[in-house]
């Protein structure tokens, strides 16, 4: 054998068996996938369902996980699917930290993938906010396939007046009263969030 490639090629089966014995997968290809994946608005490919279920299982014991894949593999979709599986039908809030050039992509994907999702972008917080542009915490919605700024907005001045605890309480109250009636109980009526 003259190279590492030759060694790996010659011993691939033994090495693969040893790796699987040492590090058994949390989710095998023959294991059933999480039932909550079926509630997503877009159907998962088999490899995506496998990754979503495995990531959700891992996060039940760990504080963080990584989804590493090629461009176009559906990493954003798999992350949203993992959130849906972990929420298990309960209302939940998730903070996504991503580069500014893909915030609209994340918001669009969330609205197209997760039933009853609401998305908020934190915009233009560095310099006090340009009054001609959306700034503060802004709800975005999908209109003809594009993200539009519509719904609840909290400006920087409002955020400063409220303080961190006030912002958290306001979001908790407003989100609680804007959930679809079937997720809140039979006696509740559907409310809307004031803008």
pLDDT tens digits for range 43-94: 999 999 999 999 999 999 999 999 999 999 999 999 999 999 999 999 888 8
Average pLDDT of every residue of the chain? 83
DSSP string, 105-159: HHHHHHHHHSTT--EEEEES-SSS--TTS--EEEEEEEETTEEEEEEEEE-HHHH
- Is the pTM of the predicted complex or chain greater than 0.85? no
Maximum mean pLDDT: which of 79-83, 128-132, 148-152, 156-160: 79-83
- The residue-averaged pLDDT of 145-152 equals 85
Question: Residue 55: its pLDDT value, please?
Answer: 96
Question: Residue 191: its pLDDT value, please?
Answer: 31
Confidence of residue 187 (pLDDT cuts 50, 70, 90): very low
Q: Which residues contact 17 (CB under 8 A, 6 or more apart)?
A: none
CA distance 8 to 98: 37
Reading the block at residue 140, the tokens are 């975005």
Question: Residue 189: its pLDDT value, please?
Answer: 29
């Amino acid at each position: 054998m003259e190279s590492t490639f030759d060694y790996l090629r010659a011993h691939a089966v033994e090495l693969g068996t040893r790796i699987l014995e040492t590090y058994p997968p949390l989710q095998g290809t023959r294991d059933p996938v999480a039932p909550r994946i079926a509630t997503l608005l877009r159907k998962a490919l088999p490899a995506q369902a496998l990754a979503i279920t495995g990531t959700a299982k891992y996060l039940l014991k760990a504080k963080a996980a990584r989804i590493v894949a090629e461009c176009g593999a559906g990493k954003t979709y798999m992350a949203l699917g993992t959130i849906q599986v972990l929420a298990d039908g309960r209302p939940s809030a998730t903070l996504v930290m991503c580069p500014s050039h893909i915030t609209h992509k994340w918001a669009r994907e969330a609205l197209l993938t997760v039933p009853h999702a609401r998305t908020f972008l934190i915009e233009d917080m560095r310099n006090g906010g340009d009054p001609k542009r959306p700034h503060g915490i802004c709800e975005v919605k999908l209109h003809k396939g594009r993200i539009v700024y519509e719904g609840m907005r909290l400006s920087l001045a409002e955020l400063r007046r409220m303080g961190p605890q006030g912002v958290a309480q306001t979001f908790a109250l407003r989100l609680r009263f804007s959930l679809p009636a079937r997720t809140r109980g039979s006696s509740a009526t559907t409310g809307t969030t004031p803008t």
